[in-house]
Every structure is written in C-alpha cells, then in structure tokens.
Amino acid sequence: MTVGVGLAILITSVLAGCGADSGPDPGPGERRVQNFGFTNVASNDPPVAPGGVIAASQAKIAPESVMRFTIQWRIVQPQPGAPFDFTRYDEEIVESALAEGLKPLIVVSAAPEWAWGDEQCDPVNLRARGYCIMPPGQDAASLAAWRAFVTEVARRYADDAVAIEIWNEPNAGGFWNTLDRPDPAHYADLLCHGHDAINGVAPDLPVVSGGLATSFATDDRHVAASDFLAQLYQAVDFASCADGIGVHPYPGQEPPEDPDAPFHQRLDELRAIREENGDHLPLWITEFGYSTRGTGAISEEAQAQHLACAVAEAAAMPDVRSFVVHTLIDRGTAALAELSFGVLRTPQPGLAPEPKPAADALTRALSGPRPAC
C-alpha cells in the first residue's frame, strides 16, 4: 500500500515580517512546510461522514497531504492474547486515505483494561467519555504487551505512514485518565518502549512524542507543556527515544504572525527546554486550529486568514517538520467550540461537506504566494 514519497509542500513566501527563526536559507524566498495535513474524525461516534467522503474532501483541499488519526489499542486487542484486529481503522480510514493519495500520521493510544497494571481510571473521565484513555501499566507484562501492539502498528503501516506519534496530549488529564495527574516518567517509559519497538521493524519511520497540550498550567489534572518536557529530559535520554517533539500550540483567538502571540510563545518555550538540554530534535505540530463557534470562537473569515498565515509562519521555521490542522470537518452542528475547528461544515447525510472560507484559503496558501498577514 505504498503511496509515493514523503510529502513536502512548497510555499513561496516573502520572508520579511515572517517571524522566521534564524537558520540557513534553503533558497531565495522559499521554505518548505513538511507533512501538512488534517486530523481525521471518521471514527467520531456517530461518524460525521463516511471515510471516503472525508478522504476525498481532504485531497481536494491539499493533495498528497497527511491524515492524522488515532489507533486505540483497546479496540484492536480488547482481550489479552487475542489477535490484533485493525479492520475498523482500515475500512473507515486507511483504505480511503491511501486511495486518495493521502499519507497516515498514526497516533497510538488507549491501553485495554487488562493492560492497565495497577493503574485505575478516574471515574470523572469514565463518566464523561464512556471509556478510559489509560496508559499501559509499568509492570513488565503490560509493557511487553504495549511493545507488541506498537510493533504490529509499525509493521502494518510503515510503508505508507509518515510517522507514528506515541500518545495524544500525554500531559493533559483528558487523555491520561489515571487517578493522579499525568506522570512524565511513566510516559517516558512507554515512549522509549514504543520507540524501540518501532525501530525494530521500521528503523526509518520517525517516532514523535505525543503532541503536548500547551494551553494548561500545572494543576491537579494537567502538567504544563514546558514542565512536562523538562521532566522527560530528566527521566530518560529523550533524544534516543524520539525523532521529534510533538506539540499542539493552539493560539486561542490570536493571529499567528505576531511573535508575541501564543503560537510563537508556546513553541519558543519548548525550544528553550530543548536547547537547555543540548538537543536539536525537530518540532512536529500535530494539532493547530481555530474554532468558529462557541466560547472563544472567531469568525469563519478570521479562521481562513489566520490558518493561511500560520502555514506561512510554520514554513519559515527550519525546525518544524509537520503542520496538522485540527480538524478537517466540524464534529457536529451544536454551537460548541470543541466541535467547530473544522475547515468544512458537518454535512447532511448523503451530501458532501460544505467548505468554510478556510478551505480555499489553505489551498491557496499551500500552492501560491505568502498571504498578506
């Protein structure tokens, strides 16, 4: 199921005023943003659209782009020792994506209950979601089972994937549902085991640490992104357990081109931690977006402008290896911010999703001159 070579979308940009990091210029007025794409919501319950509609819609906006989606271990192996079953993900996401020339960026997450070890799920999260996103336990049996799962994911999809991301927002209580707040040392353990498993079968496939949520301060449910990354470096030889640092630098309502705005500030905070540890791992922006409804939303026109400018900003950053927009399609019609990050509106049954202005703005930003920011 191989689909061509790695994605690199060329953006022609006027560098003056880009807020670019210092670094070698790859050419007069040219930068590349690698691995541009969208998060996939085909597995939403209920699905927002069939997988084929989602893939075709994304390919229309950004041909040969990246589709980021999560494979939950609890779904593909609900019982210990059972054979792995990826049918749901292949039929709902992967087959359609590859048919449209898209490339997977796969997040691995959510251990089945039999692999939790001594950990317990926070009942608040269980009530809110109906299931738990739990890490594997730190006992030898749970970690061995985790390695087997990650190995199978890598073996199955290595020819087509651009990377495997180990977990989603491991510093946020919403995606690390233990009774206590997320534990950087525990996460470092499963990251290193996952990295070694992937390298064992697909040594050329990049392993990205789970995209860090940057909107939280450290409290009883979350660990601030900078604190979490600093503790990862303290816990393990981090650079030997990852090929890139995942980050979700959500900007709130602020435009991305201002160097003092959250987009730049949140990336720079992690760069500072990285450099304090003598490291040069690239940053993978695996979620970024603006909501157009609900609390903290901006207008659809502002979303279009800001996303186009954010792509240009990321293209001017030599250490950025990925830029994934969250999400392709709104996850419902309710006026809720969490559901409304899409650049396409939730479609009516049997119909194609209607584009917001951001869809065309991104197509132009990916293939034409830098937008006026």
User: How does pLDDT run across 195-213, given as a tens digit for each residue?
Assistant: 999 999 999 999 999 999 9
Whether residue 146 is contained in a domain is answered as yes
- Structural domains of the chain, count: 1
In a domain, 325, yes or no: yes
Q: Is residue 3 part of a domain?
A: no
Instruction: Give, in order, the Cα–Cα distances in Å from 6 to each of 64, 229, 263, 366.
Output: 9, 28, 26, 16
Is residue 265 included in any domain, yes or no? yes
Q: Is residue 270 part of a domain?
A: yes
Q: Is residue 2 part of a domain?
A: no
| pLDDT recorded at residue 43 | 63
Q: How does pLDDT run across 75-91, given as a tens digit for each residue?
A: 999 999 999 999 999 99
First to last CA, the chain: 39
Q: Per-residue pLDDT tens for 124-135?
A: 999 999 999 999
Write out pLDDT tens, residues 120-164.
999 999 999 999 999 999 999 999 999 999 999 999 999 999 999
Please check whether residue 211 lies inside any domain of the structure. Answer: yes
285 and 275 Cβ atoms separated by less than 8 Å? no
Helical spans, DSSP H, in 236-299: 262-276
Asked if residues 107 and 208 have their Cβ atoms less than 8 Å apart, the reply is no
- Cα 320–chain centre separation: 13
Q: Looking at residues 344-356, what average pLDDT do you find?
A: 91
Containing structural domain, residue 102: 8-367
With cut-offs at 50, 70 and 90, classify the pLDDT of residue 45: low
Give dist(CA 186, CA 189) in Å, integer: 5
CATH number of 204's domain: 3.20.20.80
Domain annotation covers residue 362: yes
